[in-house]
Amino acid sequence: MSTKTTTIVTTNKLFKKLHPEQEIVGHSSKGITRANYTFNPNDCNTKLGAWLAERILTTEHVDDYSLLFIESKSTDSELSLNELLERLKSASIRNSDELKQALSRMEDWCQLQRANNIAFGDIIFKKCVITFNWPVLGSRSTGNIETPAAYFDLCAKMIIDMKTLNVRIGGTGESPPSSVWSA
């Protein structure tokens, strides 16, 4: 693939570093702006990163084409149970009161799950679908990354680390072929 231009939400600081001759247009009080980056998606080191880079036109949430839906391998109930278990792992149980608190949390969780099952039925057993939050290029969450190719590789890693079953682009419904899930 040849070069393409993608609009990526970027910190004002990184934008000025990479483009000192350009004025920041449409900047906000939050210190972020949107910037057009021209690059070659083939510069990505991962297949999923390149797939994303070829298809995503903007990381700004302006329309369906910037949305990326992530289908998790987990159901709502599984995620809820995992959250409870994580909280319980960090709890100390060294006396009767602490044990009662932990048991109370488990009982509350069981009641909530029963209520959810009655209210929502089998939908709580479907795989979760969430919208991917594109990180801001130049922010703490992207580290020292300054290129669009490295940015899309980072996003691919974040998606894979979420134990993702599948992704789907909002505007087109397109999903990546299985071949892009390997490095």
Does residue 49 register a pLDDT over 70?
A: yes
For range 31-49, the mean pLDDT: 92
Does residue 183 register a pLDDT over 70?
A: no
Report pLDDT digits (tens) over 10-25: 998 898 898 888 777 6
Q: What is the pLDDT of residue 21?
A: 85
Model confidence, pTM: 0.76
Q: What is the pLDDT of residue 100?
A: 92
Q: Is 162 helix (H, G, I), strand (E, B) or coil?
A: coil
Nearest to 64 by CA among 144, 131, 135: 131
Report pLDDT digits (tens) over 128-139: 888 999 999 999
Q: What is the pLDDT of residue 169?
A: 92
| Range with the poorest average pLDDT among 7-21, 23-37, 105-119 | 23-37
Q: What is the pLDDT of residue 145?
A: 94
DSSP labels, 94-158: -SHHHHHHHHHHHHHHHHHHHHHHHHHGGGGGSEEEEE--PPPBTSGGGTT--SHHHHHHHHHHH
